[in-house]
Amino acid sequence: MAREYDVVILGGGTGGYVAAIRAAQLGLKTALVEKGKLGGTCLHKGCIPSKALLKSAEVFDMAKNQAAEFGVNTKDVSLDFSRVQARKDGIVKQLHAGVTALMKKGKIDVFDGLGRMLGPSIFSPMPGTISVEMNNGDENEMLILKNLIIATGSRPRTLPGLEIDENQVMSSDGALSMEALPKSIIIVGGGVIGIEWASMLNDFGVEVTVLEYADRIIPTEDDDISKEMKKLLTKKGITFVTSAKVLPETLVKKEGTVTISAEMNGETTAFTAEKMLVSVGRQANVEGIGLDNTEIEIINGYIKTRPTFQTKEHHIYAIGDVIGGLQLAHVASHEGIAAVEHIAGLKNEAIDYTKISRCIYSSPEASSVGITEKQAKEQGFDVKVGKFPFMAIGKALVNGNSDGFVKIIADKKTDDILGVHMIGAHVTDLISEAGLAMVLDATPWEVASTIHPHPSLSEVMGEAALAVDGKAIHM
């Protein structure tokens, strides 16, 4: 059966379903095609389930190791991992129901199946008509469209030759479905996802070893954040091995153990644990969706787009992980909104990716917006830096989490803030103030002039802003 739409969105993840909602708001007849569940990776295999597990790990660690400091006696603390998983699944189920309700509210037609682009055909002289292979086995649906948005997302990447079996050697997808915790684990990759899993599993009582190819963990973050994260997580008992080239061909799986070797400084060392988690990034889902029936360009595995998110086929747009860049749910959402508004003829500025906040939900958390101190200097800025520790913030002491700091980097010439970098408890909730400051091209003086309530963790922003010019009050 053929149906006609103003906009069809291929992929119902965070970017796709938000784009669909915005299109419906603008009065465009909209359809969304999703082969799995609405909400995509973020809701079902990424952001939400992993954060639910992280919260359970935090509560367990506090009950076991910190409660006594608050005068709370917790004898015989134990972990029921089946209930941990049940709580996670319940949260995901509730949010999935919410997204489904939003589709109905917006009168968005949702097609449950695998969508593929067709070339020019009897349905349309332009490429992009979507043929939907329905999950329920019904006859294919043909969606004739004026505009298409590709939002097919990404999946976990692995190293060449390192096969994922989702049992002994897992991706993050498999790790989320573990029925029981291992006694020990090797995590290949010390980036954002690897560090979150390392922190979580350590808090659950698992012996964790992280092998990272770069010379430091979370290598895309500011050097000071990377050093502090390694120091604090090492203190908690996590083992880090940096400058480690993992050798996939050395993988040996036995009952109850997995062993792999890594090369460091010309020497090879073997590492053994009960399980292994491979966390070396994500790759775009560009296969099997009919791209070969179009003129759309693929560069390094990602769809090439203009700042308007148009591909080489101007009526076909692409957003989110499938185009590379910052592979974050909130980025995909705003790219989806921008693409839809361009389709609708609305004027909007190109997204400035340096003003988008990035978060790591480990314990401690880390967050940042803007450029690092090293990047600022490489770009020719004469910088001034303010740094303020949570140790000097009353609310942090009250909360029992006083590790970490906030670092603000500003341009000496213009006084504009170039970057803000945080590590400590709840910094993923604090970073939005810095994000707003970046959007408004604020100066440290303007941030410091905001009267932050006392006692609150937000006071650290005001103090760090004052510290840029050597005027911090409580330090």
Which sequence positions are flagged as catalytic? 454
What Å distances lie between residue 39 and 54, 131, 153, 184, CA to CA? Answer: 20, 21, 11, 32
Residue 412: Cβ within 10 Å count: 11
Pairing of strands 154-156, 282-284: antiparallel
Rg (CA), the chain: 24
Q: What is the C-alpha separation between 357 and 328, in angstroms, rounded?
A: 10
Coil vs helix vs strand at 188: strand
φ, ψ for residue 231, nearest 5 deg: -65, -45
Q: Note the Cα 228 to chain centre separation in Å.
A: 20
Pairing of strands 316-318, 141-150: parallel
3-class DSSP string for 42-102:
HHHHCHHHHHHHHHHHHHHHHHHHHHHHHCCCCCCCCCCHHHHHHHHHHHHHHHHHHHHHH
> ∠223-218-222 over CA atoms, to 5°?
25
Inter-axis angle of helices 81-105 and 14-25, nearest 10: 20
Q: Tokens 């597990």 map to which residue?
A: 53
What Å distances lie between residue 294 and 69, 118, 221, 315, CA to CA? Answer: 63, 8, 37, 11
* E strand or H helix at 174: helix 172-176
Q: Tokens 């954040």 map to which residue?
A: 225
User: What tokens does 348 get?
Assistant: 């909007």
Residue 227: Cβ within 10 Å count: 14
Pairing of strands 30-34, 109-117: parallel
Length, in residues, of the chain = 475
What Å distances lie between residue 159 and 277, 336, 347, CA to CA? Answer: 12, 30, 42
Q: What is the C-alpha separation between 164 and 258, in angstroms, rounded?
A: 12
- Residue 344, classified by CB atoms within 10 Å of its CB into exposed (0-12), middle (13-18) or buried (19+), is middle
Half-sphere exposure in the Cβ direction for 137 (13 Å, CA): 0
Q: Are 7 and 29 in contact (CB under 8 A)?
A: yes
